[in-house]
Amino acid sequence: MSAHHLRTSVAVSDIQRAVEFYEGRLGLRALWSGPSARIADGGRVYESGGGPALNVYQSVTAGTTAATLATWYVDDLDGIVDELTAAGVEFARYDGIEHDRKGITDRAGGGRIAWFRDPDGNTFAIEADA
């Protein structure tokens, strides 16, 4: 399996609301739009890092996990957090973890990390090594 590309899939409850978030706030570009199960326009594939990376589809299972579903690895964590905050993305804060004023915290093993959620509560992270 290590020779093949991997794409993460995320369930959302309302594809149009998800499009507003993923395209409008995160600035992701849709490479494909089409059916998902029985929903005519219920799916999107978004580009990240130069290729297809994120499959978003409408499903009744949306937001049912508290786990981080995907992580973006960036060079300028502060700059990306500032851009997303300006676009209306709210960063999560967890009890028992010390966050700076932007919502960034030290990452286990070194580096820094910040988490945010989409409108369905799906959790994503942004990490940097410095």
DSSP 24: I
Asked if residue 1 is part of any domain, the answer here is: no
Rg (CA), the chain: 15
Q: Domain holding 34: CATH number?
A: 3.10.180.10
Residues in CB range of 49: below 8 A, 6 or more apart:
none
Range of the domain at 63: 8-128
Asked if residue 28 is part of any domain, the answer here is: yes
Asked if residue 99 is part of any domain, the answer here is: yes
Give a three-class secondary structure readout of 73-129: ECCCHHHHHHHHHHCCCCECCCCCCCCCCCCCEECCCCCEEEEEECCCCCEEEEEEC
* Contact assessment for residue 128 and residue 111, using Cβ atoms and an 8 Å cutoff: yes
Asked if residue 2 is part of any domain, the answer here is: no
Provide the domain count of the chain. Answer: 1
Tell me what pLDDT residue 38 has: 83
Nearest residue to 120 (alpha-carbon basis) of 15, 9, 47 = 15
Per-residue pLDDT of the chain (130 residues; tens, 9 = 90+): 999 889 999 999 999 999 999 999 999 999 999 998 888 899 999 999 999 999 999 999 999 999 999 999 999 999 999 999 999 999 999 999 999 999 999 998 999 999 999 999 999 999 999 8
pTM exceeding 0.85: yes
Asked if residue 78 is part of any domain, the answer here is: yes
Asked if residue 67 is part of any domain, the answer here is: yes
